[in-house]
């Protein structure tokens, strides 16, 4: 579930929700309002144990006005739904999964504008830690 204080307003943007599962029937707990040029693209989401497949079902799950929701099928693969479009050259299905091919400014599997930082491995840490009834045991 997406939580935010008050609400979210999108202007001139695309909000994509793809392959999410919410335990409750309402996927968004906030007020979602779309200003000029903004739209919502959704594909292959579940809320409250059922698959959402129509704009009306997404509206009932908290995505706002059904008229502003663009529903794509689970088998759809396009850069606007599954990828960060400005950083994506193309998107295509490979082995049953949508794969984003990044342009020069895209990073990672969704072609976002900033790559994940490289972290050095932790040194001197315990290989295993167990907590048994409030007692912590380190195994070296």
| pLDDT score for 64 | 77
* pLDDT averaged per 10 residues, the chain (length 140): 58 81 83 75 91 92 82 84 90 90 92 83 62 47
| pLDDT score for 103 | 95
Q: Give pTM, 2 decimals.
A: 0.66
| pLDDT score for 79 | 84
DSSP secondary structure string for all residues of 38-85: -EEEEESEEETTEEE-SHHHHIIIII--GGGEEEE-TT---HHHHS-G
| pLDDT score for 99 | 93
Could you tell me the residue ranges of all domains in the chain? 1-74, 77-114
């Amino acid at each position: 579930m997406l939580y935010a204080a008050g609400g979210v307003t999108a202007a001139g943007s695309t909000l994509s929700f793809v392959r999410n599962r919410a335990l409750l029937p309402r996927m968004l707990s906030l007020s979602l309002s779309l200003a000029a040029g903004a739209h919502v693209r959704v594909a292959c989401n579940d809320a409250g144990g059922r698959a959402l497949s129509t704009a009306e079902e997404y509206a009932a799950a908290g995505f706002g006005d059904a008229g502003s929701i663009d529903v794509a099928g689970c088998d759809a693969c396009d850069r606007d739904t599954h990828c960060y479009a400005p950083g994506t050259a193309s998107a295509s299905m490979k082995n049953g999964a949508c794969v984003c091919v990044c342009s020069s400014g895209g990073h990672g599997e969704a072609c976002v504008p900033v790559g994940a930082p490289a972290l050095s491995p932790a040194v001197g840490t315990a290989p295993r830690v167990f907590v048994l009834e409030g007692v912590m045991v380190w195994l070296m």
